[in-house]
Structure 1
Amino acid sequence: MHTKKPLLLLTSILLLVFSGMRGQEEDPFVPYNVPSQNLLKFNRFLINPTFSTVREDKSYINLFHRNQSVSFDDNNQVYFLSYSGRVSDRSGVGLSLFTNREGLFNNFGVHANYAYGVRLGLKSSFTFGANISYYQSAFNQDRANSIEDDPFLNTLESSSLVSFQPGFNFSVGRFDIGGFAENLFDYNLKTSESVTEFNEKTYSGHLQYTHPFENGRGIMESARLMPLARVRKVGENNLTLGGNLILDLPKLGWLQAGYDDFYGASAGLGFNLTKNISLGYTVEKGLSNEFENFGVTHEISLAYSFTPNLTEDRVMLEKENESLVENENVPQDSLNLTEKDFEIAELKEKLAENDAILDELLMRQDSIETNRRQDLERRFETVMKMVKRETNGQNPALEEKAKQLYFNNMDTADIVSRKTQPLSNHGLTNTTAAKKVIRLNDKKDDPQSAVVANSPVKQDNINRAVASNGKRARFKSHSVPNVQSGHYLIANVFRDSENVSAFIEELRAQGIEANYFENPKNGLNYVYIGDFENKTEALDAYRTKMNGAYGGDAWIMNVNGGDSTIGGYTAVENGQNSKYGNSVLHKNLANKGTKVASGVSYSSDAIDGLPSGFYIIANVFETSSSATQFVKELNAKGLNASYFINPNDKLRYVYLKKHETWGNALTSYYTKLNASYDDEMWILRIKPNRTV
């Protein structure tokens, strides 16, 4: 119903002047008043300033419009353009531009929000925040329609006002309880007076519960149900009670309903049009005398949401550990694990294993070819010296004939030149355009290969890796768990343990005290004939062939093993002393879950209050001091480590990186975090959760 009669207009103006307007007669204004009882999805900080971070896991830009009591001409209309979200693990902000039209007055201003939380206990926190509004309230002469020209209306000026609205929230488990002073401090800058007296202040309180559907599937995946009860006291008026309920379905949208003693009943729904864009609508019908005859109220919301680059929830963060992990900016794929993902992971694992084998074989081939060339040169020089000695250098033709005869009779069938494919795609260094493949089984004249060629030991596909280049030894550094650091002179590498035993027995029969160790990272067994603490001793043993005791090929392997700064944290069951006390647990807790692909340790858990994703776990501790010390040492090495507490087992999980997708987690796992961490790690998937 639209009322245009002058009498009704005059009545409306008088009502606004005597009830809504404040201040001196020549400077009228309308105070800030934006109904927020239906803002359950976006702009929640208008209900309580702390809601920009409490139970909030998204950041968003939102356009909101409320058209109140549409049947009334000069009704209250609100437009909000706002940004809100968490900016760190402990704080959230909001910033809005708004315009509010009420009767013949317009308010236009800016609204700012800030909230900060502190941890009180394992499942409790305290958050405080505030809303600050600055706006101008002015009489809209274009909407005035007086019967006669009134010069007084032309003299009205706008007023500048500021409002400070603090609030707090206690979180205990899944419950939230808090309070909000909606106009604790409101000030008219033009008249230098307070807008409301102390007995006119408005206060509100809330009680909220969050129920996540942890085992939800389909449209219920990551869903949560959030009932909210409110009580509001406006000045000396009676208490106003209200309640709301929202079912948030990230896969689809949301449903909401509510009731307020003053504004009436409401119902709304929203749809996630895309992964980031959402559209919502709410309708409200007044049931009290104030709004019963003014028609319905419409609210429309359009939002663009995105996930902030945050780590764990602030509630789960220990006070003594402020280290945060920045999530890399990567494409956000589906979190669903498929058979294809498992196959790709298995292929990558096999490829990495083959690359290690090829790398060692190429080193061996280069070294043997160099030694062979040097041996051929020595033989040729010996033959030519014998010819020259017989001819006294007086018969060049005979010398040339001997040279041709030597090369024609020389057996070169065992050397086959073959170009290899570039290996750079597999992480190997392709240093030459062509590699030599040596047929070891046909080498009968080379004394250095006699031990292997004439040995009854069954040869694995992994042969001895030689790392000599002329007189210069190569050092290949490895991190091998549970192996003492040092320089090892490696004689052979096997995969089959039976071949290891047979080869060691042959070496010991020759008087060489050989031994071996296993590298769990590639499953290979390394047979060594000497271990040394410094490089000089290892080089001497390499060049002298263990003082002539060993005639085969060998190479030096530099091992950074179990006694390194980070690599060697002793497990509790070993019973050894650790600088972290007796709280150190298994470094690799793969037995908690499954092996997704050969060698990929993976497990899954559901933890309240921790963002879902895939965590690269480096270690697990029982006490905060041990976890903090380990994190500090990791960060001192250039890493960005942090840890969280799993309330299910009360343990501290130290992680190196958090990923949103399985593929990105696998990439970090296989690349060792871009070669920044070489010790054991495993992937822990945290299922859908909500902030505690």
Structure 2
Amino acid sequence: MVKFGTPFLIVATFFFARSQEVSLPVDFRQHNLTEYNSSFFNPAFSLDRNNPQSVSLWTRWQWQSIDADPTTLFLNYTRKINESSAASVAFFQHNTGIFFNTGGILNYAQEIKLNSLIRLGFGFNLFGFQQELADDRFQIDPNIPIPILQPSTDFILQLAPGVRLSVENFSFGLASENLFDYNFTDKGRNTVPADKIYMGMVSYDIPIGVSRDPTAFLRPLLYLRTIPELDNQVGLNVLLSKTTYWAQIGYNNFYGISLGGGGTFFKRFSVGALVEFGTNSAISSEDPSFEIVASYFIGKPEERRKIRVLEEEEEPKQEELITEEETKEEIEKAEAIAEEEEAAERAQQKQAKKEARELAAQEKALAKQKRRDSIATAKGEREALAEAARLEEERNKAAIEQAKKEEDLAKAKDEQQRKLDSINDVRRAEALAAAQKLRQQKKKDSLESIKIAEAEAAQKQIEQDQVAQQEEQDKPKAGEKYEEVKAEGDLEPGYYLITNVFGTKKYYDAFMKDLQNQGLAPKSFVRAKNNYNYVYLERYNTMNEARNARDSNFNGKYLDKTWIFRVVGN
């Protein structure tokens, strides 16, 4: 019994039976996988582009409607092992046009951080699958004296390695679908060196995040794929990815133009679709190809999409290194000093509170006495005014009586004297009115002075309370990182939200550029004391404002740790 001799004989037999159809490449046709299950495209992509920890499904219908069986099915579970490695396990079925492969895939990927800008990731997909003929419509004439090919089910082990070099937002990758393989049924390699499939790819992530979605990005990806006995494939994919949806457009010189997109619901479930139209004259008559992808995120929702930021190198320069023992000793000394200072500060605060209470009581008693004195003064003035009015009234009565007597005695006087008396009466009335108005004005002024004194006392108390409250707010909380200096050069007094401190311009420039790429507007100043660059996000006028900005991660714009640096004015 003769089994499948060489791949060439099988391909020749298959093409003889389907001489009028387009030759379909034998690759996995996974060139559109950009958002989910992209470890099928390059094994190193499981580190971040598979969105671990998640379960994802991808299906493709090649040149056929979706009511038929899919030509490719890929069900994958990916999990992050730690910050630098990931693994996945998958089930797949794939119809190459000649063979129908069914089996599983184990994936592992590891990343090495070469420095703050460059990362090297590598991984592999280990395939184990059964292979059988996908089309048995060609029947060999028994009268023709050629070997009869008996269908069989072969078990094949296949290794697909991949590597990715990332320089800031650039990524360069290489992968192979079948670099090593072994057919356990035939006890030999499954493909010859000329039938190996290789891929090269380059991409660039363009951050377009805003405050509501700092993880959003635009990723163009260019790739080249070598296909046995066919022309090389060249393609371009452009992916727009946000927290709630994604969209992509692509072009492959063999398969044509693709359009796709999808959405994420409840921060866990994602579903999307893609359609691909042939533009090559050889396949323009074929039906469009369809793809459907679905994914469910198992981890915590806040960990579904993380921003990869450039961090300062974890290893400081040699001159800044100190031994662990020295660090421990310094920490113990600092803790002892802090405890002593805290005890002294507590005693000082207790004494200050006591003195403040006594002073407040004295001020309250003094204010009360002043109010009593003011009330007594006002009462005395009112009584004096009343007495003056009474005396004035008596004088008026006496004057009127005297006037009547004089009028009785002066009846005989001439008209001129009566006019003079009338004028005198008018003048006296005006004088009385003026005196009455003066008394009322004095009374009003006295009441106004009382109100002003009370308002000034209340304002003084409010100002004292505000000063005490501000002093209480300015005191560092337990475990709070805080530093305070007196008049630092031309630096404006206030509270600075510090993100990092650099003694080297290289790391300072890289850090500033990274913050600017995130849409932030960082500022910095140099301390004369140590000649270090202090990078801060904003200056605030009060401790409360600075704490609120720190505790809210700068309103969600900056997720790393920050601390407060206060400059006290002269």
**TM-score calculated relative to the size of structure 1:** 0.45
Of 472, 478, 483, which residue of structure 2 is paired with 1:523? 472
Aligned to 1:215, the other structure's residue is in SS state coil
| Higher Cα radius of gyration | 2
Which residue is equivalent to 2:209? 214
The structural deviation recorded for 1:267 is: 1.0
The structural deviation recorded for 1:153 is: 8.6
Which residue is equivalent to 1:687? 557
Aligned to 2:194, the other structure's residue is in SS state helix
1:60 counterpart = 2:9: no
1:82 counterpart = 2:76: yes
Which residue is equivalent to 1:352? none
The structural deviation recorded for 1:169 is: 1.3
The structural deviation recorded for 1:302 is: 1.6
Whether the 8 Å contact between 1:118 and 1:315 is mirrored in structure 2 is no
Q: Deviations over 1:454-492 (max 9, x none)?
A: xxxxxxxxxxxxxxxxxxxxxxxx999797154766794
Q: Deviations over 1:320-348 (max 9, x none)?
A: 59xxxxxxxxxxxxxxxxxxxxxxxxxxx
Amino acid at match of 2:268: N
1:484 counterpart = 2:341: yes
Which residue is equivalent to 1:259? 251
Amino acid at match of 1:117: E
Alignment of 1:221-620 (within 5 A): 222-235=215-228, 237-251=230-244, 253-288=245-280, 291-307=283-299, 313=308, 316=311, 318-320=313-315, 484-486=341-343, 492=350, 523=472, 591-592=495-496, 620=500
Which residue is equivalent to 2:168? 173
Gaps of 5+ in 1: 1-13, 22-29, 322-477, 505-517, 527-560, 576-588, 594-602, 604-618, 625-643, 654-665, 671-680
Aligned to 2:267, the other structure's residue is in SS state coil
Amino acid at match of 1:184: L
Of 33, 37, 45, which residue of structure 1 is paired with 2:27? 33
Whether the 8 Å contact between 1:91 and 1:116 is mirrored in structure 2 is yes
Alignment coverage as a number of residue pairs: 383
Aligned to 2:30, the other structure's residue is in SS state coil
Whether the 8 Å contact between 2:39 and 2:49 is mirrored in structure 1 is no
Q: Distance in 1 between matches of 2:85 and 2:62?
A: 33
Whether the 8 Å contact between 2:25 and 2:96 is mirrored in structure 1 is no
Amino acid at match of 2:291: E
Which residue is equivalent to 2:124? 130
Whether the 8 Å contact between 1:75 and 1:102 is mirrored in structure 2 is no
The structural deviation recorded for 1:214 is: 2.6
Distance 1:492 1:295, change over 3 A: closer
Distance 1:490 1:592, change over 3 A: closer
Of 160, 183, 197, which residue of structure 1 is paired with 2:155? 160
Of 63, 66, 79, which residue of structure 2 is paired with 1:69? 63
Percent identity between matched residues is 24
Q: Distance in 2 between matches of 1:123 and 1:304?
A: 32
Whether the 8 Å contact between 2:208 and 2:217 is mirrored in structure 1 is yes
The structural deviation recorded for 1:32 is: 7.3
The structural deviation recorded for 1:305 is: 2.4
Amino acid at match of 1:172: V
Aligned to 1:523, the other structure's residue is in SS state helix
Amino acid at match of 2:495: N
Q: Distance in 1 between matches of 2:95 and 2:252?
A: 22
Whether the 8 Å contact between 1:104 and 1:144 is mirrored in structure 2 is no
Alignment of 1:1-20 (within 5 A): 17-18=11-12
The structural deviation recorded for 1:122 is: 2.4
Q: Distance in 2 between matches of 1:72 and 1:569?
A: 62
Whether the 8 Å contact between 1:69 and 1:76 is mirrored in structure 2 is no
The structural deviation recorded for 1:228 is: 0.8
Distance 1:146 1:174, change over 3 A: same
Higher helix share: 2
Q: Distance in 2 between matches of 1:231 and 1:82?
A: 25
Aligned to 2:341, the other structure's residue is in SS state coil
Amino acid at match of 2:183: N
Whether the 8 Å contact between 1:495 and 1:524 is mirrored in structure 2 is no
Q: Distance in 2 between matches of 1:207 and 1:32?
A: 23
1:205 counterpart = 2:197: no
Q: Distance in 2 between matches of 1:191 and 1:93?
A: 30
Q: Distance in 2 between matches of 1:20 and 1:571?
A: 81
Aligned to 2:291, the other structure's residue is in SS state strand
Q: Deviations over 1:648-669 (max 9, x none)?
A: 479999xxxxxxxxxxxx9xx9
Whether the 8 Å contact between 1:87 and 1:93 is mirrored in structure 2 is yes
Q: Distance in 1 between matches of 2:112 and 2:485?
A: 33
Q: Deviations over 1:3-26 (max 9, x none)?
A: xxxxxxxxxxx99653779xxxxx
Q: Distance in 1 between matches of 2:41 and 2:312?
A: 26
Which residue is equivalent to 1:459? none
1:622 counterpart = 2:494: no
Whether the 8 Å contact between 2:214 and 2:307 is mirrored in structure 1 is no
Amino acid at match of 1:66: R
Whether the 8 Å contact between 1:125 and 1:315 is mirrored in structure 2 is no
Distance 1:491 1:161, change over 3 A: closer
1:116 counterpart = 2:110: yes
The structural deviation recorded for 1:198 is: 2.2
Distance 1:275 1:80, change over 3 A: same
Q: Distance in 1 between matches of 2:205 and 2:259?
A: 19
Q: Distance in 1 between matches of 2:474 and 2:502?
A: 34
Whether the 8 Å contact between 2:27 and 2:197 is mirrored in structure 1 is no
Q: Distance in 1 between matches of 2:313 and 2:170?
A: 21
The structural deviation recorded for 1:92 is: 2.4
Whether the 8 Å contact between 2:275 and 2:288 is mirrored in structure 1 is yes
Q: Deviations over 1:480-505 (max 9, x none)?
A: 9797154766794656985587999x
Which residue is equivalent to 1:448? none
Which residue is equivalent to 2:184? 189
Whether the 8 Å contact between 2:271 and 2:295 is mirrored in structure 1 is yes
Distance 1:312 1:16, change over 3 A: same
**TM-score calculated relative to the size of structure 2:** 0.54
The Cα RMSD (Å) is: 5.3
Q: Distance in 1 between matches of 2:222 and 2:81?
A: 27
Aligned to 1:18, the other structure's residue is in SS state helix
The structural deviation recorded for 1:57 is: 5.3
Which residue is equivalent to 2:568? none
Q: Distance in 1 between matches of 2:289 and 2:474?
A: 76
Whether the 8 Å contact between 2:46 and 2:52 is mirrored in structure 1 is no
Amino acid at match of 2:502: E
Distance 1:568 1:90, change over 3 A: closer
